[in-house]
């Protein structure tokens, strides 16, 4: 005998309708046998715990837009590798983005990969500090050498005269060297070069402090929240904005190179970062 799911009466096996209330028994039983929707699984956390942040993040990392971000970033890193202009940081970010996407397709938000992304961004933050501080020290050294006056000028004058005496130097090059040797042009060039180095180093340090650090702190808070189900997300709006800013800067740098082969990776990275920034702002704008 079967039991009607509506009125609870006993009815013969194989019945399509209940003899007492007329309910369509077959449809109800089919609905009961349907597999329920799988909950969001959070790696390294209670397997079927529905974390609100993870539930919000899951549709993002399994979306076609995130797949496109992974593809664009991979193109950028791959082309730079062909040009021998790649970085370990770029390769690691590419790998972790793909793993995050593949886990998302399996309905899993992997906190470990979010931590890996956070750690890689922090490594980039530290490396940037070293590079920009070294550049700033170089600029300061040039300014200090300018204070020696004739010593520095005499050094570059000797170098230029040695170049001028080379037999295969063209007449136009000799004229250019003659201009550099006259009227204190060398000192002026060194002052301008030092100023450019200082400006570049200071701009890089500020971008590192306010941009890369903000993205790192956001990613770190996101990984912690997904892993533990607790903790407040930080810099959600600013992290998205800085991703867009870095994307624009990457595009400008690519265009400034005036080289088609370098525009490809720069443009791909530009599009990837802008798309990722928009996704962050749209997904976590409420926080």
> Where along the chain do its domains lie?
1-34, 38-283
By the 8 A CB rule, do 12 and 30 touch?
A: no
The C-alpha R_g of the chain, in whole angstroms, comes to 31
Q: Cβ-count burial of 232 within 10 angstroms (0-12 exposed, 13-18 middle, 19+ buried)?
A: exposed
- CA distances (Å), 252 to each of 191, 195, 248, 258, in order? 26, 22, 6, 10
The encoded tokens of residue 214 equal 């903000």
> Encoding tokens for residue 31?
């609905």
Q: What share of the chain is helix, strand, coil (3-state, %, to 5)?
A: 70, 5, 25
Residue ranges in the chain whose pLDDT is less than 70? 1, 20, 22, 25-50, 145-167, 169-188, 286-287
pLDDT attached to residue 148: 53
Burial readout 65-84 (b: 16 or more C-beta within 10 A, e: otherwise): ebbebbebbbbbbbbbeeee
pLDDT for 282 = 92
The answer to whether 105 and 64 have CB atoms below 8 angstroms apart is no
Q: What is the pTM of this model?
A: 0.72
Going by the DSSP 8-state scheme, the letter that residue 210 receives in this structure is I
pLDDT at 32: 45
Reference 51, options 62, 39, 60; nearest CA is 39
């Amino acid at each position: 005998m079967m039991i009607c799911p509506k009125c609870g009466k006993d009815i013969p096996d194989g019945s399509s309708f209940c003899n007492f209330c007329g309910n369509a028994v077959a449809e109800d039983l089919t609905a009961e046998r349907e597999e329920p929707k799988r909950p969001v699984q959070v790696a390294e956390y209670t397997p079927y715990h529905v974390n609100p942040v993870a539930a919000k993040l899951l549709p993002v990392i399994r979306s076609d837009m995130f797949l496109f971000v992974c593809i664009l970033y991979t193109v950028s890193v791959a082309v730079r590798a062909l040009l021998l202009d790649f970085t370990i940081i770029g390769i690691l970010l590419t790998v972790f983005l793909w793993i995050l996407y593949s886990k998302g397709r399996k309905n899993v938000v992997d906190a470990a990969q979010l931590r890996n992304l956070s750690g890689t961004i922090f490594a980039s933050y530290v490396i940037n500090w070293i590079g920009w501080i070294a550049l700033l020290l170089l600029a300061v050294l040039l300014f200090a050498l300018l204070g020696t006056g004739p010593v520095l000028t005499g050094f570059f004058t000797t170098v230029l005269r040695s170049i001028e005496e080379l037999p295969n130097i063209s007449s136009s090059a000799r004229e250019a060297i003659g201009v550099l040797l006259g009227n204190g042009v060398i000192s002026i060039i060194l002052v301008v070069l030092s100023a450019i180095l200082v400006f570049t180093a200071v701009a890089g340090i500020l971008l590192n402090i306010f941009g890369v650090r903000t993205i790192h702190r956001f990613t770190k808070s996101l990984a912690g929240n997904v892993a533990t189900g607790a903790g407040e997300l930080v810099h959600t709006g600013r992290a998205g904005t800085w991703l867009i800013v870095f994307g624009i800067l990457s595009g400008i740098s690519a265009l400034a190179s005036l080289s088609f082969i370098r525009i490809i990776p720069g443009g791909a990275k530009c599009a990837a970062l802008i798309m990722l920034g928009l996704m962050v702002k749209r997904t976590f704008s409420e926080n």
